[in-house]
Structure 1
């Protein structure tokens, strides 16, 4: 095994830097999608423990609704770099 070390100057250069936004989900659409889906997962988890199939399916429906809500909000301009989120200079 070699005992050579890699210095920062020899590190590979990547095309994107940390300041380049690649869509990490910091948008109202992403937050809404995740929160609604978490609620659906919580409902489904509780229903699984108490063995209630209708409530379990309702939780799955809530999760699908979260996906649809996030997609619709992104299309409406509330996604990353969306038209509704442009800074108006304030």
Structure 2
């Protein structure tokens, strides 16, 4: 698990796209445009996909699992 608390490029991108999606959808409801509303709805899953893809390519924070294994090995050696 990462100790970045969501402060990664993947998290920021996903949150920004998600915020944009809800803003566009909300504006679409207020102005009565179902086209704009559905564009906002279509952007919401894009946020999830973008965050997941960016995490997979290494922009989602460090993976500490290998560090923990190394630390455990050091503890056994002492």
TM (normalized to structure 1)? 0.63
Of 79, 85, 90, which residue of structure 1 is paired with 2:60? Answer: 79
Larger helix share, 1 or 2:
2
Of 65, 75, 79, which residue of structure 1 is paired with 2:46? Answer: 65
Regions of 4+ moved over 3 Å: none
Which string of whole-angstrom CA distances, capped at 9 and with x for unpartnered residues, describes residues 47-90 of structure 1? 010111111110011121111100100011100216xxxxxxxx
RMSD over aligned Cα atoms: 1.6
Which string of whole-angstrom CA distances, capped at 9 and with x for unpartnered residues, describes residues 30-59 of structure 1? 000000111111100100101111111100
Q: State whether structure 2 residue 7 is matched by structure 1 residue 26.
A: yes
Whose RCO is larger (CA < 8 A, sep 6+)?
A: 2
Structure with greater Cα Rg: 1
SS in 1 for 2:7: coil
Deviation for aligned residue 1:28? 0.3
Q: State whether structure 2 residue 20 is matched by structure 1 residue 39.
A: yes
Deviation for aligned residue 1:24? 1.5
How many residues get paired? Answer: 62
Question: Comparing 28-37 with 60-69, which one deviates more in the overlay?
Answer: 60-69
